[in-house]
Structure 1
Amino acid sequence: MRPPDRPAKADRPAKARPTKADLEAARDRVIPDVLPPGGQALRVLFCGINPGLYSGATGHHFARPGNRFWPALHRSGFTERLLDPSEQDLLPGLGLGITNLARRVTARADELTPAELREGGRRLAALVERHRPAYLAVAGVTAYRTAFGRPRAAIGPQEETAGPARIWVLPNPSGLNASWTLDRIAAELARLRRAADGA
């Protein structure tokens, strides 16, 4: 499946970047999940830690310049072209969705409390029961360990499940995660895609 043709990035009008005031005003906002209509198949539900200020200001997941989610998604073969964060609503047509462990916008993920992450894990379990993805892919091993009480979890497929979904822990695609290059993140996403294609 491929997203509908859109003008090439160079042909699209440039979007204004959020100002410093826009970013500050985005604190504690909530960005809606990207999910298919009820009953539509969901191959992979991607789960970030929580939206940053840039995502809060734009309303798009993984929107900060330098975040590797969208390029890695393309390089891994999940999408046939590089999608802009503003095109996130094309994902359900590909059997993909996006949510977050913690819903509120913060400047940094370390502003979240362990209690918020554990509560996010419970909310996520309920969301998985409703939408029944084949895979739940959590981007951020440290947050996953806290949210699900799995202190020894590592990147990759997990033995446990979340309801009907198999769990795959991905590296955090933030540009701040220097230990994981774009190529390594894309390779891990490609492993997940191959597994999801066989599900």
Structure 2
Amino acid sequence: MKEVPDIIAHNLKILFIGFNPGLRSAATGHHFAGHSNRFWKLLAASGLTPQLLKPEEDHRLLTWGYGITNIVARPSRAAAEITKAEYQAGREILKDKLRQYKPQVACFAGIGVYREFIRQPGIGCGLQPVCSVEGVADFVVPSPSGLTRILFQDQLVYYQELLGLIK
């Protein structure tokens, strides 16, 4: 399986961060490509993008000052397949990316992703009280995976809050 390339640039408004690419993302080479993944619908419904994008249009996020990366680059069927060693290496790589590219907001697509990054329990969605990298705000949205039990409307609230941070 091939890795899915980052969509990243300096001084982004938002850098979205996932666990790792799923199998469909690896097969297509595009982020959040799973058929049941809600990421693209949430971006459009919240007003973060002016239209609904398809995963193969993920590069267009740079137009609005957004990017995407993952805490672990290796694709897998499920995040449960990621090893402790991969997370450890991924944390350091991600910290380096945040320091180098300096997005305004690091938006973690799921509580679990953020928990793996900062290694602390008791995480909730929304703006986090502490920045893990100086000058970069940490924000957590519910996982857009189709496996999540959180209703679309409840997820949308956090994407709308995120939009309010960058306006």
TM-score, structure 1 as length reference: 0.80
Amino acid at match of 1:167: D
**Aligned match of 2:65:** 95
CA contact (8 A) 1:43 1:134 kept: yes
Q: Deviation at 1:110?
A: 0.5
Distance 1:35 1:184 in 2: 28
Residue segments in structure 2 that go unaligned for 5+ positions in a row: none
**Aligned match of 1:153:** 123
**Aligned match of 1:172:** 143
Distance 2:114 2:165 in 1: 20
Instruction: State the SS of the aligned residue for 1:45.
Output: strand
Please give the per-residue CA displacement for 1:65-108, whole angstroms capped at 9, x wherever unaligned. 11000000111111111000111111111000000011100001
Change (3 A) 1:112 1:68: same
Please give the per-residue CA displacement for 1:124-175, whole angstroms capped at 9, x wherever unaligned. 1110111110000011212321221121111111112123210001111000
Distance 1:144 1:115 in 2: 17
Cα root mean square deviation, aligned: 1.2
Residue segments in structure 1 that go unaligned for 5+ positions in a row: 1-25
Distance 1:163 1:116 in 2: 24
Instruction: State the SS of the aligned residue for 1:186.
Output: helix
- Identify the structure with bigger relative contact order (alpha carbons < 8 Å, sequence gap 6+): 2
Distance 1:91 1:79 in 2: 8
Distance 2:66 2:161 in 1: 16
Distance 1:77 1:118 in 2: 34
Instruction: State the SS of the aligned residue for 1:169.
Output: strand
Q: Which of the residues 24, 28, 35 maps onto 1:65?
A: 35
Identity over the aligned pairs, expressed in percent?
Answer: 36
Q: Deviation at 1:118?
A: 3.0
Larger Rg: 1
**Aligned match of 1:142:** 112
Distance 1:112 1:128 in 2: 21
